Amino acid sequence: MEDWQHGGFGLYLHWPYCESKCPYCDFNSHVAAQIDQNAWQRAYLAEIDRMGQQTPGRLLNSVYFGGGTPSLMAPELVAAVIDRIRATWPMTNDPEITLEANPGSVEVGRFRGFQQAGVTRVSMGIQAMNDQDLRRLGRKHSVAEARKAFDVARGCFDRVSFDLIYARQDQSLDAWRIELGKALELAIDHLSLYQLTIEDGTAFADRFAKGGLRGLPSEDLSAEMFELTQELCDAAGLPAYEVSNHAKPGSESRHNLIYWRGGDYIGIGPGAHGRMTLNNTRWATEAIKSPALWLEMVKAGKSPELPRSALTAEERGLEYLLMSLRLSEGLNLDRYQHLSGTALNARKIKDLSDMGMLSQTDTHLHATAAGRMVLNAVLRELVVA
């Protein structure tokens, strides 16, 4: 068994356009006056063909339409892409085909079409459960619109998840308790809860650097918010299976698990990353970020990829380590050793376990609840000699 098979095989497709750019967002997303969906369709299909030739016969577990705002794609485009994928790779019986959706009115009308195209799961960016904060996040929709969109989606898909951003400006612990309570009433079986991150190169980062963007929570408050989140979600039967992802056991996002479990995934679209094991070498792929250039290159029959890099044993170990410790299921010690060629530093593991940051079973290493909150520091300790 090749190592990637522990995680499975998926396909990520990036749609780089949005209606407007949110001030906190550092995704490869752009606002464009006109989008030629036909041109994109031809390009995506060409890329699927190119990737298919490199990984023939592989059993595909999942497809993910991410963005940007993929719910702005024409349902026909989504259908054509899914058809071509099905024609290229054999798929599992009940493949997970997720599409990221914004709760805007434009998109809602397309949900049925996405369902007919083959989409099985929607992940919706609701972000906040009060209108004032939605505005401060630069979102164009209201809570009422989001609830309506969510209802429509539920009517079309068995599996609907949504995202919230918390630890926002001037958000108190009590306000978050109330907001999360509402979210849990709405949630079905999956929920992503992200603490607001000020990402380099965003409008928020600019404002922050200039001393604006006041009222962000202190480290202590954001720790308390995180703890509260775990407590309320546990009680609601949606425990965290990953740092920011909660699900009823069995309803986890299979696609995202591929990343965290170190599976292979094909990346298609501008800026998309992939990991492909070919003849025992694991390649990191990355496409050119600019949507216009990407499209131009694919149109011209060229590969839009940046030079691929072959991951060394050390890098493979490192990636597996930093992804798997995010999961409650943790890291398989044998697998790590097999991948990287060396075992993790036993003394460091013991020190971190004594501090209550890690726990170990015969086969696995886990970050404890305390360890997960300071996972970056735990990883630093483990990898930085």
Partner 1 sequence: MTQLDLIRNFSIVAHIDHGKSTLADRLIQMTGTVAARDMKAQMLDSMDIERERGITIKANTVRIEYPAKDGRTYILNLIDTPGHVDFAYEVSRSMRAVEGSLLVVDASQGVEAQTLANVYQALDAGHEIVPVLNKIDLPAAEPDRIRQQIEDVIGLDASDAVLISAKSGLGIPDVLEAIVTRLPPPKGDRDAPLKAMLVDSWYDAYLGVVVMVRIMDGVMKKGDRVRMMQTNAVYGIDKLSVLKPQMVDIAELGPGEIGIFTASIKQVRDTRVGDTITHERKGCTEALPGFKPAQPVVFCGLFPVDANEFENLRDAIEKLSLNDASFSTEMETSAALGFGFRCGFLGLLHLEVIRDRLEREYDIDLITTAPSVVFKLHMKDGTVQDLHNPADMPDLTYIDHIEEPRIKATIMVPDDYLGDVLKLCQDRRGIQMDLSYAGSRAMVVYDLPLAEVVFDFYDRLKSVTQGYASFDYSISEYREDFLVKMSILVNEEPVDALSMMVHRDRAEARGRAMVEKLKDLIPRHMFKIPIQAAIGARVIARETLSAMRKDVTAKCYGGDASRKKKLLEKQKAGKKRMRQFGKVEIPQEAFISALKMDS
Ligand X SMILES: C[S@@+](CC[C@H](N)C(=O)[O-])C[C@H]1O[C@@H](n2cnc3c(N)ncnc32)[C@H](O)[C@@H]1O
Give me the residues that bind ligand SF4 (CB under 6 A), please: 18, 21-22, 25, 27, 29, 67-69, 102, 125
What is the DSSP pairing of strand 281-286 with strand 121-127? unpaired
Residue 371 contacts ligand X per CB under 6 A: no
Sign, CA torsion 297/298/303/308:
positive
Tell whether residue 165 is a contact of ligand X (CB under 6 A): yes
What SS3 state is found at 99? strand
Residues 102 and 27 sit within 8 Å (Cβ to Cβ): no
What 3-state class would DSSP assign to 152?
A: helix
Q: Which of the listed partners (partner 1, ligand SF4, ligand X, none) does 21 bind, with a CB threshold of 5 to 8 Å by partner kind?
A: ligand SF4
Q: Choose, by CB under 8 A, the member of 323, 345, 348, 360 that binds partner 1.
A: 323
Angle CA 250–253–258, to nearest 5: 110
Instruction: Select 8 or 67, whichever has its Cβ closest to ligand X.
Output: 67
Q: What six digits make up the tokens of 43?
A: 């390009």
Q: Report the distance separating Cα 357 and Cα 346, nearest Å.
A: 14
- Helical (H) or strand (E) element with 166: strand 159-166
Subset of 87-126 contacting ligand X (CB under 6 A): 100, 102, 125
For 113, phi then psi, to 5°, come to -60, -40
- CA distance to 30, 102, 142, 153, 378, per residue, from 146 (Å): 22, 8, 6, 10, 37
Cα(291)–Cα(17) distance, rounded to whole angstroms?
Answer: 9
Among 19, 189, 206, 286, binds partner 1 (CB under 8 A): 286
Given the complex with ligand SF4, which of 83 and 206 has the nearer CB atom?
206
Contacts (CB under 6 A) with ligand X, residues 125-144:
125, 127
- Angstrom distance (rounded) from CA 125 to CA 100: 8
**CB of 67 or CB of 267, closer to ligand SF4:** 67
Which of ligand SF4, partner 1, ligand X, none sits in contact with 184, Cβ below 5 to 8 A by type?
A: none
379 binds, among partner 1, ligand X, ligand SF4, none (CB under 5 to 8 A by kind): partner 1
CB contact at 8 A, 190 and 248:
yes
189 binds partner 1 (CB under 8 A): no
Q: Using CB under 6 A as the criterion, which residues of the chain lie in contact with ligand X when the complex forms? A: 18, 24-25, 27, 66-67, 69, 100, 102, 125, 127, 163, 165, 194, 196-197, 199
Q: Using CB under 8 A as the criterion, which residues of the chain lie in contact with partner 1 when the complex forms? A: 12, 194-197, 219-220, 222-223, 226, 243-244, 256, 259-260, 265, 267, 271-275, 284, 286, 315, 318-319, 322-323, 326, 351-352, 355, 357, 372-381, 383-385
